[in-house]
Structure 1
Amino acid sequence: MERQALYFTGPRQVARQTETLPSPVFGQVLVKTIISAISPGTELLVYRGLAPADLARDETITALAGDFSFPLKYGYAAVGQVLKLGRGVAPGWEGRLVFAFNPHESHFLAAPDELLGLPAGLTPEDAVFFPNMETAVTFLLDGQPLMGEQVAIFGQGIVGLLLTALLSRWPLSSLVTLDLYPRRRQLSEDLGAHLSLDPSAPDALARLAAGLQGGGTYPGADLCYEISGNPAALDQAIAATGFSGRVVIGSWYGLKRSDLNLGGRFHRSRVRLISSQVSSIAPELTGRWNKTRRYHATWQMLAQVQPARFITQRFPIGQAAQAYELLDRHPEDVIQVILTY
């Protein structure tokens, strides 16, 4: 059979290509994609040619083998239905709705252990947010927010909004978010942020400090998340963090460099910078947490948050170039874009 697959062919260039797909062999299933989500962070780095070409895409996911050199297929949020079983696959897989960390393509082959069956009652539109929600769950595991803490989040793209939705359930003293775009800031407050600010405003850090501290005695943030994708935001996050606070860095900057002021207050502040990435679990947690447990928590949070409401645009795969151009040129108009098949 033939399938339609999306390729990144060069900086700001994508193309739909027709490929021949064989029948599933022993231990494989054929999946027809229903929808896939575009990552406005990682995929835009790839689209803009800002991902390090020699870096492995993901060493833990079969469908993402290889590096970031052009041309390449990329994407990791597909929901589909199992159409056909190869020999040796349990009959219960046929017709099942599944999630896969798979690039944007109309059909694909996979082993059952590379698929996640959708829980009963969860729609494909909610399930397609699985990677973003898993990332938000990982940020919680790495940041370890405590009761009564003052927390700031730099960046209210889709992962930032999901993190806000989760942290709004915590008994925090304050939760303040920052984003350049008014639409995201309003949605952030609707989700439970006590205040959402424009980080480009001249008084942003002063308003952030006041919003975090309120009537409390601790100045600054106990915990900051930098997930804006903007390297300049990391310096702001460090400046906003109080003595012995933590900064969780969830952004992937690709080839972009960050210029940090570490020669002043930071030198005596004992602030901890924590690298967070969803492909692994912090070693200190692995005695109790593994990917299966994190998957379970992610499904639970998807059912509670119901993020399908954050889908702002849908494009058929044949119009993928327009989808990426929109994300690239008008991010203020976008929360989440999905491709349909």
Structure 2
Amino acid sequence: MTDSNPTIDATAYWTTAKEQGELRSEKIQAPGRGEALVRALYSGISKGTEMVVHHAAVPPRVASEMRAPHQEGEFPGPVKFGYLSVGIVEAGPEEWKGQRVFCLNPHQDRYVVPVDSLTRIPDNVPSRRAVLTGTVETAINALWEAGPRLGDRVAVVGAGLVGGMVAKLLRSFPLERLQLVDLDPAKQGLANALGVDFVHPDEAAADCDIVFHCSASQQGLERSLQLAGDEGDIIEMSWYANRDVTVPLGEDFHARRLSIRASQVGVVARARRHRRTNADRLDLAASLLADPVFDAFLTGSSSFAELPAVVKELASGRRDALCHVIEYPTDSSNRT
């Protein structure tokens, strides 16, 4: 008698409790109609958000809004979380078989998802670099939100993964001035690789039309308010999770009629929402990754088996990274 509902062995990373995580074996159902089985090649650790989950710091009030698309479990845990996965389709609709794809899926070696959750990776984009698709998507959304114009003066405060990505995309805009601002002088190397001017916060030029704040710090937001010109815009990309932030609204914000706008990738920015879908945004992000300069954001790699230890090292500060890549056991011929 044949099994009409076969299962497939899989292994996934779970945050089991505050600052604890492990790899768990599980059984997944074979793909049904309109679904695909994906074998992971690489996944990326989105350090900011995933460390919030690791520290059990997701505020209950916004827990439902902060769910990842294919998350299992609930915050604070046990929860399977993550959203930067690249793999190859092993089973599913014929036109998808063998395709390299990006998916907003947690760290898992094999998974089944609807095919409309998949983004095809262009032939000129290496699989390892493609883990950045979700972060490029975040940066695209922020630029759609801000709408930079010809001759603008722009600052990006915070030279982490998201801030650096925003600066990289802005480099191609016809701006009068673009500065990447950070306290850490070591971020000069990233700025050099991106071809962007790097400055310490004390030396950043003021009178900006737009300031993108990406430092996730109170001090960074304060400095962003100071750098914006009269009636300028601060695009707030940081997620503070359960931390309280005090902002001096009685100074620059009120006197100079500034605006602070949140940019969050869960929905397409309002300026493009009626003409672009999430899938359109992901396709655009994947296509932009043909530029090899994006490799500057890939700052280390480890095997899937090492993932629980790597997360702890990132959380404690013993390991630094922009995007740390996780490699899955597979036939090396598929690692293009």
Q: TM-score of the superposition, structure 2-length normalised? A: 0.89
Match for residue 47 of structure 2 among 40, 47, 56: 40
Deviations 1:213-272 (A, max 9, x none): xxxxxx521111111122332122112211010000011111011101011232121111
Unaligned runs of 5+ in 2: 1-7, 329-336
Rounded to whole Å, the distance in 2 between the matches of 1:331 and 1:243 is 41
Quote how far apart the aligned CAs of 1:333 are.
3.4
The match for 2:13 is: 6
Matched, 1:50 2:57: yes
The match for 2:316 is: 329
Rounded to whole Å, the distance in 2 between the matches of 1:248 and 1:169 is 19
Match for residue 303 of structure 1 among 284, 290, 295: 290
The match for 1:216 is: none
Rounded to whole Å, the distance in 2 between the matches of 1:105 and 1:233 is 35
Match for residue 160 of structure 1 among 160, 163, 166: 163
Query: Which sits farther off after the overlay, 144-153 or 46-55?
Result: 46-55
Deviations 1:140-193 (A, max 9, x none): 111111222211111111121111111111222221222233332321133122
Quote how far apart the aligned CAs of 1:332 are.
7.5
Structure 1 315/139 Cα, relative in aligned 2: closer, same or farther at 3 Å? same
Structure 1 112/58 Cα, relative in aligned 2: closer, same or farther at 3 Å? farther
Match for residue 116 of structure 1 among 97, 116, 119: 119
Q: CA RMSD in A?
A: 2.0
The match for 1:169 is: 172
Percent of residue pairs bearing the same amino acid type: 27
Quote how far apart the aligned CAs of 1:72 are.
0.2
Q: Kindly indicate whether the alpha-carbon contact (under 8 Å) linking 2:68 and 2:83 is maintained by their aligned counterparts in 1.
A: no
Where does 1:159-308 land on structure 2 (aligned, <5 Å)? 159-197=162-200, 199=201, 204=202, 207-208=203-204, 212=205, 219-304=206-291, 306-308=293-295
Quote how far apart the aligned CAs of 1:59 are.
6.2
Quote how far apart the aligned CAs of 1:328 are.
2.0
Match for residue 80 of structure 2 among 64, 73, 78: 73
Q: Kindly indicate whether the alpha-carbon contact (under 8 Å) linking 1:3 and 1:107 is maintained by their aligned counterparts in 2.
A: yes
Q: Kindly indicate whether the alpha-carbon contact (under 8 Å) linking 1:178 and 1:185 is maintained by their aligned counterparts in 2.
A: no
Quote how far apart the aligned CAs of 1:23 are.
2.0
The match for 1:23 is: 30
Name the SS for the 1:109 alignment partner.
Answer: strand
Query: Which sits farther off after the overlay, 289-298 or 109-118?
Result: 289-298
Q: Kindly indicate whether the alpha-carbon contact (under 8 Å) linking 2:68 and 2:104 is maintained by their aligned counterparts in 1.
A: no
Quote how far apart the aligned CAs of 1:29 are.
1.7
Quote how far apart the aligned CAs of 1:60 are.
8.1
Q: What amino acid is the match of 1:149?
A: D
Query: Which sits farther off after the overlay, 65-74 or 103-112?
Result: 65-74
Q: TM-score of the superposition, structure 1-length normalised? A: 0.87
Structure 1 66/5 Cα, relative in aligned 2: closer, same or farther at 3 Å? closer
Quote how far apart the aligned CAs of 1:49 are.
1.7
Rounded to whole Å, the distance in 1 between the matches of 2:67 and 2:311 is 25
The match for 2:4 is: none
The match for 2:333 is: none
Q: Kindly indicate whether the alpha-carbon contact (under 8 Å) linking 2:142 and 2:269 is maintained by their aligned counterparts in 1.
A: no
Name the SS for the 1:128 alignment partner.
Answer: helix
Q: Kindly indicate whether the alpha-carbon contact (under 8 Å) linking 1:57 and 1:68 is maintained by their aligned counterparts in 2.
A: no
**Count of aligned pairs:** 320
Q: Kindly indicate whether the alpha-carbon contact (under 8 Å) linking 1:232 and 1:258 is maintained by their aligned counterparts in 2.
A: no
Rounded to whole Å, the distance in 2 between the matches of 1:138 and 1:325 is 30
Query: Which sits farther off after the overlay, 228-237 or 271-280?
Result: 228-237
